[in-house]
Structure 1
Amino acid sequence: MKKYLLPAFVMLSFFLSSCDQNRIFELNQDLENNSWPIAAIQEFKFEVKDTSKKYAIYFNVRNAVSYEYYNLYMKHTLLGPDGNMLSTNLHELYLMDKKSGKPLGDGAGDIFDHQVLALKDQTFAQPGTYTIKLQQYMRRDPLPGIMAVGVRVETQE
């Protein structure tokens, strides 16, 4: 029976990786003590090689069900390879239904994951390493119940 586990695992890994051909970058960073201080700006660096394509940038958030708010205000700053700011914006992400308080996203038990499209049809003028910085913009500092944040960049068809 054990001799079939390795080939099955390899096949499953190949199948799962082939479903994600558009992804060029994805990284999630755990937050210390499951809280996000305003000063703890999360930084992500990703490489863009093909400037002829359009890209989609998603924000990933993992929260505990004990998170006290239905939304999360988050600011992004996108920097080019030369360090110049390309864009900055304040985003409102909905983590729970406004009326019922029911958690949104994928999850089980008391942990929920969200992937929210933040920047659509993003173009990059030059190849190189880009940086995106995320900062929580809620009134509470630190913000408890946020366990991890991340960024996913993929090509658009």
Structure 2
Amino acid sequence: MNNFKAVLMLITGITAALLSGCDTNNVIDNNVSMPSRNWSYDHKVKAVVDITDSSKPYNIYFKLRHTADYGYSNIFVLMHLNKQGEKKASRRYEYRLAQPDGQWNGAGSGNLYTYTLPLLTNYKFPSPGKYELELEQNMRDNPLKEISDAGIKVSAIAQ
């Protein structure tokens, strides 16, 4: 029995050490719930990130959760990147959320499907300062029904 406890403690210690070594380097990780699962044009998802070292690369992600009743196999979003005193940069993205046979690509949990989709990878901000990231849905439907929440995640890349 003592050997069993020793092995169990060893496994627990190794697992804890491995997990503590997995630093995600998340700078921002937010989600905004959509009222009544309806994402309207004026309900933008915003995050502010303070960049102190513009030589460091970052990954910026669009996070999305929708129900199984979402009516499309894709979504269009606009991302705006703005630093006070500089010109706002905007870009339109399309993401495929389902296979041609209707199977959702996201991770399913009950009636919700979750996605973490890349916006900018290995991105270096032009200069230090505070940047506002803003996402808005860019589909024809307003509001876009069956969207539970959306968010922005910014992670520093370890060098």
TM-score (norm 1): 0.83
Q: Is 1:118 equivalent to 2:119 in the alignment?
A: yes
Residue identity matched to 1:22: N
**In the TM superposition, what is the alpha-carbon distance from 1:19 to its structure 2 partner?**
2.3
Residue identity matched to 1:150: G
d(CA) in 2 for partners of 1:113 and 1:28?
Answer: 12
Count residues with an aligned counterpart.
145
**In the TM superposition, what is the alpha-carbon distance from 1:125 to its structure 2 partner?**
2.8
For the pair shown, the structure with the greater C-alpha radius of gyration is 2
**In the TM superposition, what is the alpha-carbon distance from 1:48 to its structure 2 partner?**
1.5
d(CA) in 2 for partners of 1:18 and 1:144?
Answer: 40
Q: Is 1:94 equivalent to 2:106 in the alignment?
A: no
Q: Is 1:39 equivalent to 2:39 in the alignment?
A: no
**In the TM superposition, what is the alpha-carbon distance from 1:128 to its structure 2 partner?**
2.2
Mapped contact 1:77–1:85 kept (Cα < 8 A): no
Mapped contact 1:71–1:96 kept (Cα < 8 A): yes
| Structure 2, unaligned runs of 5 or more | 1-11
Runs of 4+ in 1 over 3 A off after TM superposition: 14-18
Q: Is 1:56 equivalent to 2:59 in the alignment?
A: yes
1:77-128 Cα shifts (integer Å, max 9, x gaps): 0012x2523521110112211x111111112221011001111222123222
Residues 100 and 20 (structure 1), Cα distance of their counterparts in 2 relative to 1, 3 Å cut: farther
TM-score (norm 2): 0.82
Residue identity matched to 1:130: Y
Q: How does 1:77-156 map to 2 (within 5 A)?
A: 77-80=80-83, 82-97=84-99, 99-156=100-157
d(CA) in 2 for partners of 1:35 and 1:117?
Answer: 23
SS in 2 for 1:139: coil
